[in-house]
Structure 1
Amino acid sequence: MTGETLIGASIRIVELPKLGTATNSYGFYSISLAEGIYNMEVSYIGYTTFTKQIVVISDEKIAIDLTESNNLSEVVITSIRRNENVIKPQMGIEKLNIKDIQHIPVLFGEKDILKTLQLLPGIKSAGEGNSGFYVRGGATDQNLILLDEAPVYNASHLLGFFSTFNSDAIKDVTVYKGGMPAQYGGRLSSVLDIRMNDGNKKEATFEGGIGLISSRLKVEAPFIKDKSSFMISGRRTYADSFLAFAPDTSVRGSILYFYDLNAKANYQIDEKNVIYLSGYFGRDRLGLRDTFGFNWGNATGTLRWNHFYSNRLFSNTSLIMSKYDYTIENLQNGNEFAVNSSIKDFNLKHDFSLALNDKHDLKFGFDAIHHTIAPGQLTSPSTSSINAIKIENRSGLELAAYISDEAKVGDKLKLIYGLRLSSFSVLGGGNFKTFNNDGIQTSSTYYAKSDIVKTYLNLEPRFAASFQLDDSKSVKASYTRNVQNLHLMSNSIATSPTDLYIMNSLNTKPEIANQISFGYFNNFKENNYEFSAEVYYKSMSNQIEYRNGTDLRANQNVEADLIYGEGRAYGLELFFKKKYGRFNGWIGYTLSRSERTFDLINDGNWFTARQDRPHDISLVGIYKAGKRWVLSSTFVYSSGNAVTFPIAKYNLDGRTIFYYGERNGNRTADFHRLDLSATLEGKPGRKFKSSWNFSVYNAYNRNNPFSIEFRDNPDNRTQTQAVQTSLFGIIPSVTWNFKF
């Protein structure tokens, strides 16, 4: 026992099998019973099931301690009750317990939440060497990533080779890819809600690992036993240490590393009040000596207050700060300059949970976020030939209020219905321009900081329903309307730390998506096996693209180069998994399309979006081979990326100019890869626990395409060469993990 609150622990009344609940994001639960004697059963993955007889006479608070099981934690990406996927009305939701991913093979042996989520249907990798992901045809910026409620704007390290989330510091991960609850908003496609460990309230523990290119260490301990605790977890790569031995002397002394630090503390004031303080700090540095420097990083902070008004009413109040920034430096003599950009949020949230009775659970609250975007500032010393450029900052105020009810209508029908009212106000503090469809400026007006330039107001209804055919089968349906007020601008195939964020303006309107989905869910063989099939259709308005030839860097009139159109995405997701036993795993398959239409692209006809991949397959298998060995493997296959190839070329003043065809009208070669892993656990029964992980990434050395460059054949300039770049061949790795 550690005293850690558990998210999604299942509470069941044995005598009333159709009555049950689960703990919320803060470990709180409420259940209504008539007077009498009952047996209460509490279960959670990786913990021994707890059973207690209770006598119900009046309202009572029951705190429960669960004991970790010594058995291998099976890979179960689901909610807690064995048939939770069948009986809950929520669709398009997946829960990932951190204990479940420790044996899944990944690059350099680093456990990675984002890479594991991309093995699920409907969630697709944005590409090798990229931690971005696409959900149901949406772009990477249409995913809301929250770390202890704070938004994370760039979730990648080392240009996407690793995610920012150190799995040692994380206790719970939930992703909503459709039908998201009303308390979430601000993005079109998905919500990834990540919660950090609170800290061990019982005793001090140390945990970490040493790998080929990085190491990590976590410390947890009580400040006051059973009342207050803390957690600190750090990670750093040392890839730059190997540069000292590089055969090219110009590379020696260069910089290549990242670090991150997670910290959290909590204090239980009394039985009704608990406060939490958590933060994340991470930074990447990349640079070639005397040539260029590049660094970027995230910082978040969350102060939370949990308050119990009664056994039925619970509230959470949060003050949140989030910042993302980057700096690019040119260090070449005579041309020195630095480019800085950042986005900063301050957020106040107040959420309530009210258990009206055993048929209705209400959630309601409000959210206020102040955004500040510094699009870019170019500075240079007086000795440089580069002129300084300053682009005006932009500020906005995002407000939202919501209410939602989870209702039980009889024994078979369950509903979640709610409404979110959101607004976005563009705040003054500079010159605001308007442009016509040809990108020509039509007006320019100065607004003071106290002025509101424009306000956008939107209603976002949410609805989900499930109907149980029997204890192991159900059908579900959902409808969701989402609004997005921040937009990421990129004119490259892969996301980059230097991609530009913009907010709503006089020209740029909120993106809006309407999604409907239907599903069939079936468990069999006593819930040991699970099958689901979901279909969805999503329409999107006010989608943003750039004009051909646009340069987004240091562009003082970037909105003049933007065009606006519509989008649609639709697909089928199939999922089959074995949840328990010595051998378990899953198969996921997605058949989907994602398309866009813009008046100024492809003659206004629908064209393939860059995130379109019609076929996507993931296979995961984990086998416990004896008492100490665990073997695992993953295989992934997907259609190639949608890209634009040249269809002709011409010569201009001795230079070859390529003429490109239909936007995203071509594809790279299909992507596929096999990863293998073996974990040797230390001898059981010892306080000092350790394990060795051996893994092979890309076991059959597939040269998957990362990019394709077109150029003249040096031997015959009338011919064109297509040169493919691949990132990774076969990569073995070994990691030693420990805990005491």
Structure 2
Amino acid sequence: MRAVFYLFTFISFYLFLVPCDVYAQEISGIVRSEISGEILEGASIYCLEYQTGSITNERGAYSIKCNSYDTTFTLVVSYVGHEQDTFTIKNCGSTVQDILLRGELSNLSVEVVGKYIDSEKATHNSTNRLTNQEILRIPALFGEADPIRAMQVMPGVQSGIEGQTGLFVRGGGNDQNLVLLDGLPVYKPDHIFGFFSTFDINAVEKVNLIKGGFPARFGGRLSSVVDVEMKTGRVDQSSRGFSLGPLITKAYISGGFGKITYHISGRRTLFDLLIAPFINSSTDNNLAFYFGDANIKLEYNISKNDRLVFSGYYGKDRYDQTRIQPQNTSSTVRTSQELLSWYNLLGNLRYDKVWSDRLTQNTYIGNTIYSYENGSAFSEENLLRRESSSLLYSADVAETMFRTSLTFKGKKNNILKVGVNSSYRRFIPGRFTIANSTTISGIEASQDTMFSRIASSNFDHNFYAEKILDIGEKISLNAGVRFGWLNGEHFKIQPRLSVETKINSKDELNISFASMRQNTHLLISGTLGLPRDIWIPANNDLPPQDSWQVALGVKRQLKPGLRVAIEAYYKSMNNVVNYRPGAGVTSSEDFSELVVKGKGEAYGLECFVEKSVGRFRGRLSNTLSWSWRTFSEINQGNPFPYRYDRRNNLYITGDYSVSPNKILLSAGFTYQTGNPITLLNDRVLPLNRELSIGSFLTFADVNGYRIPPTHRLDLGVSFQKIKNNYERVIAIGAYNVYARRNPYYVNVENERTLDGLRGQLVKVSLFRLVPSLSYTIKWH
């Protein structure tokens, strides 16, 4: 009760500090790009008459308060990469004025007519943002622009394995990323063994990656927040598009009528439809291998102050291969089958309420499901007898979420956010179904066995308070605290602080601290992107994961559209888990007996240079980092490098507009030092060969050897044609232009010599030179 008393005292104190200003008028609306129709977050709107302005929020919305009933107002609107424009508003008494900015310029000239600081945006340290158009400018594998793969070029982020969409942020695991799709968590955000993410570029408005200095409203993971916002439709403009590539075809439709807007998109691979029939007709194999997904977003604007939004997603992967092997010496036919499939299903309903010009509320309720199954079957049949057996393994995790938040806006940039998050998670960490049958002369005998690990669940409740304000003209601050309970216990206070100090007109100094908690664990059994990893809940035997992180950075604006940032970080993690040596997913033991708990440590230095305006644009990011794990029962209790500890990561991307809105050249270069692996050290034979004791293996230090570094160059060119009612894009690209044999993984193979068996390392490469071609057409 004492903690609750302090909590409400804290909230009341902040509410008392929020000033109450009274305005007679308000100019508000949405700012969009004239060409793409995308909302523009961070656009500047400046009112010349009152020398005041606003910055559009994440929905492209702005509002400017006026204290008289003048008949004319002049708004100057600007956004990076777009033409600055002036709008005159007449007879405005709380007027709604939506704004369309003209398309991108080849040479941008920016004139600063006023100054307005958005504290909420400015104090997001360790944050990178990419819009839909920026993602499309980055060369991509198979020509498929991917939001998650685009995030891999940011400092502090590693891809894990060559060609995959994994995100390993500041020494953390892939499971330590809170991946949100319109506010709902995604438990497996990838397709086709990790080569593509679950996010269709046609459905994505923008992506925010937060690596540190986490605002108090985010929680549940240790390393990062990947916040993906889906596109919304427009009542005043309908559009539709179709794209055809070497592996994937996709389409979308967007528009609105009355008070309702919609945006629907879908995509599917073509491999099973185009290539698999030739394989099946020429061999005794039958292959089904595909993925597909669909997105939908509906908005119902009930009134000016009330809005209802539904977001939905469904995606499925399936790999099914059947081999038929007739026996030459008899009439016997042997058939074997392998099955691997998984899916994500998400549904989210959000209600936005504007209570006043100072108070807004957002309420979410949603559900997310991730399920997968992996199995095999075998049968042998002849004229007299048929035998068959099968094994199917499946697992599920589902989360039902409720969240509501209040935002109080005070004078200038004095903002208070308070909210409650509650989640109910259900885990089925493994079901085994075994079936055997024998048929002789038409008489069948069968036996089915099914057993399952014990299903479990947990309740996760959190309350947060977050304060955003300016202290003078040079200091912006985001301070907050998050209170969490798991199943009525495991109480945790998570303080957050992010401070930005303006040294001068060009330089900024940032410092942040964040304490995080994760109430789930992912038991990782492989590295090839297969869905065999198991989500399990935290409990008394496997306590929640905890971390704290501190970061210090400096930024410098060299000139308009050109900036450089350097940031150092240190992160400590506790209660991270790993399988015990020899344990695995198919074991029937309790998970607390299969894993060990340990600690993690990560630190590094990040450098980021970005040019965001003009005909040439580009990014350079370089990260020097270390990541360690320590477990009492692994590596004799000594620290060892984390499996994705790559010491140096360099990414360079750039694009050049040869002809504005017509021809765009793009390139990307990647260099990563090799990640560590554990090697077989020796095979030990018994001293007395007559004893019935087999040989056993010994291993070197855990992750004591590093595979060769990876590097590649990707190129792309797109030809764009824009008319009044349609837009056409032909994109040609090449992944890994100089065909570097980058290691996908490394095997140890034994070679027989005169002295016995000799082990040698064999590097397996997957992607050499991969060309791509895609055709996209959009109708407006």
TM-score (structure 2 length as normaliser): 0.85
1:228 equivalent in alignment to 2:260? yes
1:597 equivalent in alignment to 2:630? yes
Shift of 1:350: 0.4
Q: How many residues align?
A: 701
User: Where does the alignment leave 5 or more consecutive residues of structure 2 unmatched?
Assistant: 1-31, 109-114, 323-335, 380-387, 438-445, 687-691
Shift of 1:250: 4.5
User: Where does the alignment leave 5 or more consecutive residues of structure 1 unmatched?
Assistant: 75-80, 426-453
Q: Measured at CA, do residues 655 and 69 of structure 1 come closer, stay the same or move farther in structure 2, by a change above 3 Å?
A: farther
1:305 equivalent in alignment to 2:359? no
Aligned-partner residue type, residue 376 of structure 2:
N
Residues 653-677 of structure 1: per-residue CA shift (max 9 Å, x gap)? 8987432111111111101111110
Map 1:317-396 onto structure 2 (within 5 A): 317-333=363-379, 334-383=388-437, 387-396=449-458
Map 1:4-403 onto structure 2 (within 5 A): 6=39, 8-13=41-46, 21-29=54-62, 39-44=74-79, 48-52=83-87, 60=94, 62-69=96-103, 71=105, 88-224=122-258, 227-240=259-272, 241-246=274-279, 249-250=282-283, 252-289=285-322, 290-333=336-379, 334-383=388-437, 387-403=449-465
CA distance in 2, matches of 1:17, 1:378: 70
Aligned-partner residue type, residue 367 of structure 1:
N
Residues 112-143 of structure 1: per-residue CA shift (max 9 Å, x gap)? 01111101111110212422110111111000
Consecutive aligned runs of 4 or more in structure 1 exceeding 6 Å deviation: 1-5, 16-19, 54-58, 81-87, 652-656
Give 1 or 2 for the bigger CA radius of gyration.
2
Aligned-partner residue type, residue 206 of structure 1:
R
- The partner residue of 1:691 within 713, 723, 729 is 729
Counterpart for residue 534 of structure 1: 567
Aligned-partner residue type, residue 356 of structure 2:
S
Q: Measured at CA, do residues 202 and 665 of structure 1 come closer, stay the same or move farther in structure 2, by a change above 3 Å?
A: same
Asked whether the 8 Å contact 1:336–1:381 carries over to 2, the reply is: yes
Aligned-partner residue type, residue 349 of structure 2:
L
Q: Measured at CA, do residues 312 and 62 of structure 1 come closer, stay the same or move farther in structure 2, by a change above 3 Å?
A: farther
Map 1:313-712 onto structure 2 (within 5 A): 313-333=359-379, 334-383=388-437, 387-425=449-487, 455-525=489-559, 527-627=560-660, 628-651=662-685, 657-682=696-721, 684-712=722-750
CA distance in 2, matches of 1:498, 1:460: 32
Q: Measured at CA, do residues 193 and 687 of structure 1 come closer, stay the same or move farther in structure 2, by a change above 3 Å?
A: same
Shift of 1:342: 0.7
SS at match of 2:593: helix
SS at match of 2:418: strand
Shift of 1:694: 0.5
CA distance in 1, matches of 2:164, 2:693: 36
Asked whether the 8 Å contact 2:119–2:413 carries over to 1, the reply is: no
Aligned-partner residue type, residue 182 of structure 1:
A
Judge which range, 354-363 or 708-717, deviates more: 708-717
Judge which range, 141-150 or 491-500, deviates more: 491-500
Aligned-partner residue type, residue 263 of structure 1:
I
Aligned-partner residue type, residue 737 of structure 1:
T
SS at match of 2:592: helix
CA distance in 2, matches of 1:104, 1:667: 29
Asked whether the 8 Å contact 2:44–2:79 carries over to 1, the reply is: no
Q: Measured at CA, do residues 251 and 409 of structure 1 come closer, stay the same or move farther in structure 2, by a change above 3 Å?
A: farther
Aligned-partner residue type, residue 484 of structure 1:
Q
Asked whether the 8 Å contact 1:2–1:201 carries over to 2, the reply is: no
1:725 equivalent in alignment to 2:758? no
SS at match of 2:99: coil
Asked whether the 8 Å contact 2:107–2:615 carries over to 1, the reply is: no
Residues 288-326 of structure 1: per-residue CA shift (max 9 Å, x gap)? 114211110101011111110011211111111101000
CA distance in 2, matches of 1:180, 1:555: 38
Asked whether the 8 Å contact 1:35–1:56 carries over to 2, the reply is: no
Shift of 1:174: 0.7
SS at match of 2:39: coil
CA RMSD in angstroms, aligned pairs only: 2.7
Asked whether the 8 Å contact 1:176–1:190 carries over to 2, the reply is: yes
CA distance in 2, matches of 1:419, 1:147: 24
Shift of 1:491: 3.1
Asked whether the 8 Å contact 2:80–2:612 carries over to 1, the reply is: no
Residues 543-586 of structure 1: per-residue CA shift (max 9 Å, x gap)? 11221111123534122021111111100000112111111101
CA distance in 2, matches of 1:313, 1:239: 51
Counterpart for residue 428 of structure 1: none
Shift of 1:389: 2.2
Shift of 1:606: 1.8
CA distance in 2, matches of 1:82, 1:553: 58
CA distance in 2, matches of 1:82, 1:13: 8
CA distance in 1, matches of 2:345, 2:562: 41
CA distance in 2, matches of 1:232, 1:320: 19
CA distance in 2, matches of 1:680, 1:415: 45
Counterpart for residue 776 of structure 2: 737
Asked whether the 8 Å contact 1:389–1:554 carries over to 2, the reply is: no
CA distance in 1, matches of 2:495, 2:595: 29
Shift of 1:39: 4.7
Shift of 1:2: 8.8
Judge which range, 654-663 or 315-324, deviates more: 654-663
TM-score (structure 1 length as normaliser): 0.89
SS at match of 1:108: helix
Give the percent of matched residue pairs that are identical in Structure 1 and Structure 2: 29
Asked whether the 8 Å contact 1:89–1:466 carries over to 2, the reply is: yes
SS at match of 2:148: helix
SS at match of 2:298: strand
CA distance in 2, matches of 1:456, 1:641: 35
Q: Measured at CA, do residues 560 and 566 of structure 1 come closer, stay the same or move farther in structure 2, by a change above 3 Å?
A: same
CA distance in 2, matches of 1:655, 1:34: 89
